[in-house]
Amino acid sequence: MSLIELSCKDFTIELSSKKPVPGGGGAAALTGSLGIALNMMVANFSKGKKKFIQYEKQHEDILNKGERLRVELLNLVEKDAINFEPLSKAYIMPSKTVEEKII
């Protein structure tokens, strides 16, 4: 199962574990996606209301750009995990001798 398919509860359990992923990058990307979603919620609540009708184009722009950013940030949760895991394994490799440091 991918990280973004986990429940909020399960994601936080994974994040709090001793596992290398998800980590700070994934948590930051998820937080960014949540922020974008909140911004989109405001646009959705305002869209179509008479007193905000002059901002209809801005609301549409916010929703269209927001959706792209929301999805992109969620994808970065996964990409961060995929790219960080090999690096985390390198951190635990032995490095006492010159030969071990080269490998």
**For residue range 26-79, what is the model confidence (pLDDT) as tens digits?**
999 999 999 999 999 999 999 999 999 999 999 999 999 999 999 999 999 999
pLDDT for res 20? 86
Give the pTM: 0.80
pLDDT for res 100? 63
**For residue range 74-103, what is the model confidence (pLDDT) as tens digits?**
999 999 999 887 776 766 767 677 776 665
pLDDT for res 52? 95
Record the tokens describing residue 89, joined without a space. Answer: 């394994």
Cis peptide before 22 (omega within 30 of 0): yes
